[in-house]
Homo-oligomer: A and B are copies of this chain.
Amino acid sequence: MRKVAIIGVGMSRFGELWDKSFRDIVIEAGIEAIEDANLEGKEIEAMYIGNMSGGRFLSQEHISALIADYSGLASLNIPAIRVEAGDASGGVALKEAYISVASGIHDIVVAAGVEKVTDVGSAMEIMDSSIDQEWEAFHGATLASLYAMMARLHIHNYGSSEEDLAMISVKNHKNAVNNPKAQFRREIGIETVLNSPYVAEPLKVFDSAPISDGSAVVILASERVARKHTDTPVYINSVVQSSDYLAVQNREDILEMKAVKTATRKALKLAKCELKDIDVFEMHDSFTITELLLYENVGLAEKGRGHELVRDGRVEIDGEKPVNPSGGLKACGHAVGATGIRQIGEIVLQLRGDAGKRQVDAEKGMAVNIGGTGATAVVSILGR
């Protein structure tokens, strides 16, 4: 397997992009990435696209061909592959793109993520299609209520609090102020979170990521080709995908995210490093409890002690282990299929030193992207 680098990053703004179509936002991000990589475009040999539900958000399947067509790449007849794994679609797209370059099949490949969600009224119901319809949703469970159950259990068993969860939201909002692509660029106080209405008790509106329109694109290249195009390649040291039971009821312990644990362990092994070597993290904070559970399941905190990281400021941008300098899903925005790639884009910018006012000092970074309640997890480790 060959070494693979990321040589270009592009992102649309995340938010309610009512003046732009699905096509527009993915092309916008794509052009930014192509320019960032010093490419013309015709060097691209394949496209992998993470998208959760073009079918229900746009009545459009076959979006791989749509994007190839609209970007002009259909004239090259390159393969364009859509992958889907709920809101882990972006991460899975990265992994498949990585394999296609590492294996020697392709030299330059696009990994993109895109979602346009704000054109329909039933967006929350569509988001719930990442959980088990027959065994969960049809009985009244929603994505929010399943995470609320986890939050309740964590609070009950381990003495965490709604305030701890709220502080994760406050942290991520603070970080997003310095991210020009973020949906919510304003600081909030803990009272804003605590006074917001419950979505599913104990989770409130401000514990929940928005769902957003947006797109993110990264361009992968083999090491040899990367060196021709950039002086600042960022290497994919590893990218590992794992699965867990889709229905939460099938899991032995609902606070254990086995897909995350397995993927993290393998990713660290393949990258030949330990968790202490990772300087910056992007983690999937679809709800504040999600980020807290990821601290524990990735191994930043022991089980039942994730909230201590929040209390002592270790995951703040100037802390020992900054998590979500981009603002995370909560404040940068959660454009579902784009999120896994957006996280990678942020890590690349951080490792290149191109993160502007939210820059942290980092040589290695990790992105953790999950689907639904964690049945799919993709863990990526990047290094300079």
Q: How far is the CB of A315 from chain B (nearest CB, A)?
A: 26
Alpha-carbon gap, A95 to B80, bound state (A): 12
Expressed in whole angstroms, the minimum distance between the Cβ of A92 and any Cβ of chain B is 6
By beta carbon, the residue of chain B nearest A125 is B59
* 8 Å CB interface, A63-99 against B: 64-66, 68-70, 73-75, 77-86, 92, 95-96, 99
Q: How many copies does the complex hold?
A: 2
Interface of chain A residues 34 through 80 with chain B (CB within 8 A): 52-53, 55-56, 58-62, 64-66, 68-70, 73-75, 77-80
C-alpha gap A209/B213 in the complex (Å):
36
Q: Which residues of B contact A69 (CB under 8 A)?
A: 132, 243, 245-247, 250, 375
A240 CB to nearest chain B CB (Å): 8
Cβ 8 A contact of A66, one of B55, B66, B83, B132: B132
Contact partner of A129 (CB less than 8 A), chosen from B55, B81, B126, B243, is B55
Contact present for A262 and B99 (CB under 8 Å): no
Binds B, one of A102-110, A153-161, A177-185, A223-231: A102-110
Pick the contact of A82 from B64, B85, B102, B262 — CB < 8 Å?
B85
Are A243 and B102 in contact (CB-based, < 8 A)? no
Q: Which residue of B lies closest to A242 (CB)?
A: B77
Main secondary structure of the interface of A (DSSP, over half): mixed
Interface residues of A (CB under 8 A from B): 1, 21, 23, 52-53, 55-56, 58-62, 64-66, 68-70, 73-75, 77-86, 92, 95-96, 99-100, 102-105, 126, 129-134, 137, 240-247, 250, 258-259, 262-263, 371-372, 375-376
Give Cα distance in the complex from A74 to B218, angstroms: 29
Which B residues lie within 8 Å of A243 (CB)? 64-65, 68-69, 73-74, 77-80
Residues of B within 8 A of A245 (CB): 69, 74-75
Q: Which chain B residues lie closer than 8 Å to A73 at the CB level?
A: 243
Cα of A250 to Cα of B69 in the assembled complex, Å:
9
Q: Which residue of B lies closest to A244 (CB)?
A: B74
Q: How far is the CA of A379 from the CA of B288 in the complex (A)?
A: 46
Whether B62 pairs with A21 at a CB distance below 8 angstroms is no
Do the beta carbons of A61 and B130 come within 8 Å of each other?
yes
Q: Are A103 and B244 in contact (CB under 8 A)?
A: no
| Given A99-B100, A103-B104; 20 other pairs, CB 8 A cutoff | A55-B55, A56-B56, A56-B61, A59-B133, A61-B86, A62-B86, A62-B375, A65-B376, A69-B245, A74-B375, A77-B258, A79-B95, A81-B83, A81-B85, A81-B92, A81-B96, A81-B241, A99-B99, A99-B103, A103-B105
